[in-house]
Amino acid sequence: MFRRWLLALLARVGLIVLGLCCCLLLIYLLACKPASHSRQQSLLWYGSATNKEGYMALLQEREDSHRHYINSLTKQIVQLKEALQERTQQLQESLEKAKTKGILPQGLESLHKTPTQYDLKEFFRSQLNQAEVNSGAKLLSEYAVIPFDTFTLQRVYQLETGLTRHPEERLVRKDRRDELIGTVETALHALNGPHQHRDSSRRKYTYSPSDFIEGLTRTERDKGTVYDLMFKGNNPQDFTQLLLFRPFGPMMKVKSESVDTGNMLINIIIPLSKRSDAFRLFISNFREVCIKQDGRIHLTVVYFGRDQIDQVKAMLDQTTRETHFRSFTLIQLNEEFSRGRGLDVGARAWRRSQNVLLFFCDVDIHFTADFLTSCRLNAEPGERESWHLFTV
């Protein structure tokens, strides 16, 4: 009995002690707890003067903190500028002493003087002289040649096709389109400038974007970009060539000259064997483009074998009767067909004293009068050949 009573007493005492501890802990937490966030928010939403002053004080404190940070950065910038100026002055003094003693290292001659506008122009001029603009450079092989891209206001024709796998590309990229259109605009400003009309003997002509025919461009990574632009002139056979150079800086005008294509005769050389149906289509296009529209063409046909030779002669005779065009040469070879052999024989068959532009062609090629104009503009005797890509 006594043991049971003692255990009950101890349990009761333990429960009382535990209750007292919980009460003390709750009182301690209530005494140490900060003001509730909800209460602060409710107080802030009341429009009392005390809360407005608190806001103003907080804003003023933030503004002072930002002003202090700005002042600190300004002081650091001033200190860095002073340190840079001091180091620059020390370097200038060291270079002056080294120059006086004659021990200035090679390549540091230009550091002791301040760059000027004249020095910048001289640098651009040196870039122009190093680039293949006025004269070509000797290369180890044809793989070292940097190809040109031909462009108009709508298309770019390139050899390095990249992802397109096609030589013709639209001006999709904005930076590329802005670059080429900006180059044409710069050329128009140069052509229509006051210096263009100094010669009173020539009739003034105002160039417009519609006069732009085509341009050639290529970029040398360590020198700059070359632009060779062609514009229509006063007459259908007169053109203006403008050469520009951008040495990773402002655009530079290299030269502007007139190009007269009136006396440029094109000799079209075609190796042929049989294929009279294809030659009939070629003659139809030849009559429309070369005879009616151009008129400065000579056609040389190198025929291999005897089969269907009579049909080829009949087509040429019919063209002569109907158009009174007689600038034909027909060469017959009793050999197996060879395109290279035919082109060589056709080129060597030219006996006139007039210099002629050779157009190595195939019977399947369809061309226009603008293409012939492009051949004349992009070929120069002893200097440059015109290469064109034909796609099916």
* pLDDT given for residue 107 in this prediction: 52
pTM for the model: 0.59
Segment 364-389 shows an average pLDDT of: 81
Contacts by residues 378-387 (CB-CB < 8 Å, ≥ 24 positions apart)? 378/216, 381/355
Read off the DSSP letter of residue 344: H
* pLDDT given for residue 343 in this prediction: 93
Please name the helix (run of DSSP H) or strand (run of DSSP E) that holds residue 117, with its range, or none: helix 117-130
* pLDDT given for residue 284 in this prediction: 94
pLDDT tens, residue by residue, 331-353: 999 999 999 999 999 999 988 87
- CA gap 241, 228 in Å, rounded: 7
Determine contact, residues 43/36, Cβ cutoff 8 Å: no
**Measuring CA to CA, which residue among 197, 229, 199, 232 is closest to residue 215?**
229
Percentage of the residues of the chain whose pLDDT score is greater than 90: 24
Segment 23-47 shows an average pLDDT of: 59
Asked: is 265-377 a CATH 3.90.550.10 domain? The reply is yes
Higher pLDDT, 251 or 346: 346
Give the phi and the psi of residue 130 in degrees, each rounded to 5: -80, -30
